Amino acid sequence: MEATSSFGQKEENSSSPADLRQDARFKVNNPGAYLVNVTMGHKTFEAICTDYSPFGLGLRIELAPDLPLFSIGESIDLQCNFSGSKFNARGAVANTRVERTETGDFVRLGIALSRSAEVVRPAHVKRRTARIQMNEGVSPLIIVSDELRFGETVFAKMTDISQGGMRLVIDRHPLPFLEKQRHWFEIILPIFGKCRAYCRIAYVRREEPTHRYIVGCEFIDGGEEQDLRALEDWLFFGNVWLTRSDIQAAGFSLLHIDHVDEKFRVLVSAADPAYPSAFQSNESDELAQHVSHAEAIEFSLSKDAQTHRLVASFVPEQQQLVLKSADIELESQELFQALWKSLLIFALHNRLRFLKFEISACDSVFVRSSLKIAAAKKETEFSVENILASDTLIFSYWKKIYGDLKKKKDLSLPAPTSFIRRLFQF
């Protein structure tokens, strides 16, 4: 016969080996910030969460005469408030025991969480939008900062995305995400900088045989409008294999870049494909050093079965973009306008102050035909403001580019210094 306490609670009641936890749990350092209301039948009790994973919780309830006997397999409802993140869950008692301390007697409960009904989509219910499958090697890095509530920073990689949400893969333990919990995610877009998204965790599951974890996230709020635009910019300008219709089929409107002719779409990518993996290091400082800049960036545009490339070095610490080479033989005003517009938008979005042109770039038809550079100079540096405000850029190119950039509400342009150019402000 099993021993019981004076209140009828079993001293030890462990689950079978088949019911053992699926993963190491995240231990709570500040239990007072992880509160749970446990409802069983018509009674509700206050509990403190001591550890948790996507598959279960460890709870601590003060032993009292009105506390019922918890039986293994019994269903309970949970109302969780984890550091201000509130959500409901349902689970079953996996094990119980009584714990006696100097401050009193407590019941420890192991709870196996049930999968949310929202996770299991009926076969006849289709997704509102298609998913865009990402290449994990070059997909955005996702960071959940320890400032939110975790003991350490969590890194993930995006494996697919749509207007409704994204799916992430995480490589390590612990995995402190619970279904229905809400988190801010910082998305590191290759070349295009950072944006933030507020998401609800839809599901967490283990990926076999890799033993990594798949996390489904539903966008609750895309953050600020500029964050959504940054994400759409990256999808459209950073992925050669995606067409406008592919991105729109995933639910993204692309309204702010609707004026871009797809045949003059300039693609921006890392010239060196060795973009850092989320799983190369768990040291956040080292990883931040990698993602803070790219050694080389390529701006490319395919026209008439020929690809035209600009290779540049992005140096954010010096607020500088250095154009190293311009592989362009065709002299086309539309082509040059598209490339210049892409260079300037990139510089403005990344708050760069200078565009620098090395010898090989200065001698190219692209630079000589569109910029006023003294013939004696073999290496030239211009401020971005001067290119937009003065007569540095040839007038025929400047007129079209300045007019298009003026339409972008998220860009602040300097006023032209030339009287003639001021007449052409849009």
DSSP alpha helix (H) spans, 141-295: 225-237, 244-249, 284-291
Cis peptide leading into residue 190 (ω within 30°): no
Q: Which of 24, 12, 35, 21 is nearest to 96 (CA)?
A: 12
SS3 string of 280-349? Answer: CCCCHHHHHHHHCCCCCEEEEEEECCEEEEEEEEEEHHHCEEEEEEEECCCCCHHHHHHHHHHHHHHHHH
pLDDT of residue 290: 40
Give the Cα separation of 154 and 170 in Å (integer).
8
Residues comprising the chain, all counted: 426
pLDDT of residue 22: 53
With beta carbons less than 8 A apart as the criterion, state whether 81 and 181 touch.
no
Residue 54: left if φ>0, alpha if ψ -120 to 50, beta else—which one? alpha
Q: Where are the domains of the chain?
A: 12-113
Cα–Cα distances (Å) from 307 to 157, 267, 269, 321, 328, in that order, read: 30, 11, 14, 21, 8
pLDDT of residue 276: 40
Nearby residues of 147 by Cβ (< 8 Å), 6 or more positions away: none
pLDDT of residue 161: 92
Give the Cα separation of 411 and 55 in Å (integer).
46
Give the strand pairing for 354-357 and 320-327: parallel
With beta carbons less than 8 A apart as the criterion, state whether 48 and 131 touch.
no
pLDDT of residue 275: 40
The residue type at 291: V
Q: What's the topology of domain 12-113?
A: Thrombin, subunit H (2.40.10)
3-state secondary structure of 17: helix
Nearby residues of 425 by Cβ (< 8 Å), 6 or more positions away: 402, 406, 415, 416
With beta carbons less than 8 A apart as the criterion, state whether 212 and 170 touch.
yes
3-state secondary structure of 411: coil
Calculate Rg over the CA atoms of the chain: 28
User: From start to end of 20-55, where are the E strands?
Assistant: 26-27, 34-40, 43-53
CA angle 18, 23, 27 (to 5 degrees): 125
Give the Cα separation of 68 and 249 in Å (integer).
53
With beta carbons less than 8 A apart as the criterion, state whether 413 and 405 touch.
yes
Mean pLDDT of successive 10-residue segments in the chain (426 residues)?
42 41 70 88 89 88 86 90 82 90 87 68 65 81 65 81 90 74 84 82 82 86 69 85 88 79 79 45 42 69 82 84 85 86 84 86 85 64 87 86 78 80 69
pLDDT of residue 2: 43
Residue-wise over 99-110: b if at least 16 C-beta within 10 A, else e?
eeeeeeebbebb
Cis peptide leading into residue 122 (ω within 30°): no
Q: Which of 195, 240, 202 is nearest to 119 (CA)?
A: 202
